[in-house]
């Protein structure tokens, strides 16, 4: 169905090899023989290969490729993604940085041994990206998939308001329960009433490094690590309304540095794009490893400056 509807565009030379299209409206008609019949109602032609640049690309000459508005990801290695708003130049002669990079490769880089990139730590820990720059690169592409990045950052603020709630005690259910006031708690999801419940954490924290700051969402395990207390212990403090003890927990947890593994995704809500960042994992800073990475970053920077 799709090929049939695109035939007239091919006849008019509007579609050639490597043409990029965007489907704006489609209908899934039915399923026949385990194949989905897709009818395209509306589409945009985003770009074509009129100059045959892709077919004539010579990678053997090791050209310098300059990309504007690329999205950087460090999940399972380092990768760059482009969107319709990105622009790409091959071996530009009017960009000094590209010329210097080409010169470095011709005289030194081609003889170097490059290590595989490992996304264990970035930001102020010695890598190239930090909290702010990583999220900016994610927003550029607005990918439907979540992006992951790792950084060393410091907790500068945590919200005490609604940072925990009473949840259903049923295994696998974390739905908030309703206190019926008679010693029972009702879960609307499970449609049952129980005499007990469990405490769940949902902590909003602001983390920062030298590149900027960022609001992140911390669920149970991550929140317990940052606060240094279990949900049960915090629930007991909250139940006894010991505000002094609760305040002490938050004060002692502030301005501590951690290694964060963050999951970031651009969501659309009411025609507005919002970046949502969730803490996937958090670990204490290994000072020995951290110092080793800083020294390596200094040496790498010194080597880079020496060739310019």
Per-residue pLDDT at 216: 95
CB 180 within 8 A of CB 186: yes
Average pLDDT of the segment spanning 197-220: 93
Confidence band (pLDDT; 50, 70, 90) for 219? very high
What 3 state SS string does 36-86 have?
EEEEEEEEEEEECCCCCCCCCCCHHHCCCEEEECCEEECCCCCEEECCCCC
- Calpha distance 63→102 (Å, rounded): 8
The pTM (predicted TM-score) of the whole model is 0.58
Q: Rg of the chain's alpha carbons, rounded to an integer? A: 26
CB 273 within 8 A of CB 141: no
Per-residue pLDDT at 34: 46
Which DSSP state fits 82? -
* Kind plus residue range of the DSSP H or E element containing 223: helix 220-227
DSSP symbols for 265-301:
EEEEETTEEEEEEEEEEEEE--HHHHHHHHHHHHHHH
pLDDT at 24 over 60: no
Per-residue pLDDT at 154: 94
Per-residue pLDDT at 132: 67
- Calpha distance 208→123 (Å, rounded): 10
Average pLDDT value over all residues in the chain: 77
- Calpha distance 170→192 (Å, rounded): 10
Beta-strand pair 198-201/272-284: unpaired
Q: Which fold has domain 1-55?
A: OB fold (Dihydrolipoamide Acetyltransferase, E2P) (2.40.50)
- Calpha distance 57→19 (Å, rounded): 16
Name which residue leads in pLDDT, 19 or 149: 149
Confidence band (pLDDT; 50, 70, 90) for 157? very high
The CATH number that domain 143-290 falls under is 2.40.50.140
The yes-or-no answer to whether 1-55 and 143-290 have a common fold is yes
Average pLDDT of the segment spanning 222-245: 93
Tell me what percent of the residues of the chain surpass a pLDDT of 90.
33
Average pLDDT of the segment spanning 259-265: 90
Per-residue pLDDT at 55: 62
| Structural domain boundaries in the chain | 1-55, 143-290
Per-residue pLDDT tens digits for 80-133: 777 777 788 888 888 888 888 888 888 887 777 766 555 444 444 444 456 766
């Amino acid at each position: 169905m799709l090929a049939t509807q695109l035939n007239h565009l091919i006849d008019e030379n509007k579609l050639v090899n490597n043409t990029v299209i965007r489907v704006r409206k489609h209908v899934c008609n039915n399923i026949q023989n385990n194949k989905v019949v897709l009818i395209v109602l509306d589409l945009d032609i985003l770009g074509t290969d009129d100059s045959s640049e892709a077919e004539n690309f010579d990678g053997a000459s090791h050209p310098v490729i300059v990309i504007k508005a690329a999205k950087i990801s460090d999940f399972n290695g380092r990768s760059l993604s482009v969107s319709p708003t990105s622009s790409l130049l091959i071996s530009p002669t009017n960009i000094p940085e590209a010329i210097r990079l080409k010169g470095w490769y011709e005289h030194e880089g081609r003889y170097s041994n490059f290590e595989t990139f490992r996304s264990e730590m970035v930001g102020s820990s010695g890598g190239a990206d930090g909290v702010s720059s990583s999220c900016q690169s994610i927003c550029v592409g607005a990918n439907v998939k979540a992006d992951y990045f790792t950084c060393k950052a410091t907790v500068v603020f945590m919200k005490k308001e609604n940072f925990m709630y009473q949840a259903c005690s049923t295994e696998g259910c974390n739905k908030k329960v309703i206190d019926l006031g008679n010693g029972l708690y009702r879960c609307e999801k499970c449609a049952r009433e129980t005499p007990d419940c469990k405490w769940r954490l949902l902590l909003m924290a602001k983390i920062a490094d030298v590149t900027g700051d960022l609001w992140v969402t911390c669920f149970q395990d991550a929140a317990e690590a940052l606060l240094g207390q279990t949900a049960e212990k915090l629930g007991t403090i909250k139940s006894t309304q010991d505000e002094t003890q609760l305040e002490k927990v938050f004060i002692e947890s502030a301005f501590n540095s951690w290694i964060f593994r963050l999951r970031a995704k651009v969501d659309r809500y009411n025609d507005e794009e919002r970046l949502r960042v969730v803490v996937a994992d958090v670990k204490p800073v290994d000072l020995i490893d951290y110092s080793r990475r800083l020294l390596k970053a200094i040496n790498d920077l010194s080597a880079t400056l020496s060739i310019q």
